[in-house]
Structure 1
Amino acid sequence: MIFISHTMRLSDSDVDMHAIRAQGAGGQNVNKVASAIHLRFDIHASSLSEEHKQRLLNSKDSRVTKDGIFVLKAQQYRTQERNKIDALERLKAFILQSTKTLPTRKLTKPSKSAKRKRVDQKTQRGKIKALRGKVDF
């Protein structure tokens, strides 16, 4: 069981993790040991609510494919265990960030003094620019 928050949790079958070889420099060890983790999370088949699924699918994240699968590669650390923890933490952060509800914005108008200040600043700036012109003797 993967706990996302106190109200959200995923079953272990929702997340598919495979060990792969890491890229980049690392000497002989990188050619022998599969320490990177390739995580796949099928949003449609997950145990999340329909509202959360829609929010995850509508996110602009490039890691979500057209088929609704979240793909992540964790290879920052040298050990497979640490990369597994990192991959799950990044999945948890993605789900929390996508399902967070923002408060609705209250429409406001600028005050009269703010309008007056803005116009005064514009006229002041206009006077400064007018003084930059050619001098007529």
Structure 2
Amino acid sequence: MPTADHDVAGDLVVTRDVVLPAASLHWRFSRAGGPGGQGVNTTDSRVELSVDLHQAPLREVVRERLLDRLGPRLHDGVLTVVAADDRAQRRNRRAARDRLAALLRDALAPDPPSRRPTAPSRAARRRRLESKRRQGAVKALRRRPTGE
């Protein structure tokens, strides 16, 4: 769900049911390295977007799932994404919003179905052993003949 151009500072729509209000998003800007010519030393184009999951107005079930799934990425319950790909701060802001929404969306996604353990069929075992025999025969032909 890309963000509209005018909505760089509005509420962050993660899913239909989860929307983070703009007040719970914390922005930080700094100078980015990399390309940019003379403007690189004067513009604060690097963007950090943070959200405190403990303080964000979320349903408790959603909060617990996010904290559990994003645990290694959090610092004191705060999730931060950085965008410094572009020379323009506005495009970096949009990229940071999109990255944050995608991270949260992935964390809220349901678990994949668990794998049911299965055993190889009798035919599959037979094919595997036959393949091993053929490969062994090929390698046997490569050996130096025994001298009598």
TM-score interval (norm. to shorter): 0.7 to 0.9
Name which of 120, 126, 131 aligns with 1:116. 126
* One of 42, 46, 58 as aligned partner of 2:56: 46
Quote the offset at 1:119 in angstroms. Answer: 1.1
Q: How many residues align?
A: 136
Match of 2:6 in 1: none
- Note closer, same or farther for the CA distance 1:106–1:21 as it changes in structure 2 (3 Å cut): same
Residue-by-residue CA offset, 1:45-97 (whole Å, 9 max, x unaligned): 223344444444444786x2442322222121222221111100000111112
After TM superposition, list the pairs within 5 Å mapping 1:54-133 onto structure 2: 54-59=64-69, 64-101=73-110, 102-133=112-143
Q: Distance in 2 between matches of 1:36 and 1:69?
A: 19
Q: Which runs of 5+ in 2 are unaligned?
A: 1-10
User: Which structure is higher in RCO with an 8 Å CA cutoff and minimum separation 6?
Assistant: 2
Measured in 1, the distance between the counterparts of 2:27 and 2:141 equals 69
- After superposing the two structures, state which structure 1 stretch, 9-18 or 84-93, moved more: 9-18
* Secondary structure of 1:131 counterpart: helix
Cα distance, 1:121 vs structure 2: 0.8
Distance 1:60 1:10 in 2: 16
Runs of 5+ in structure 1 lacking a partner? none
Partners of 1:91 and 1:135 lie apart in 2 by 66
- TM-score normalized with structure 2 length: 0.77
Q: Which runs of 4+ in 1 moved over 4 A?
A: 58-62
What fraction of aligned residue pairs are identical, expressed as a percent?
Answer: 32
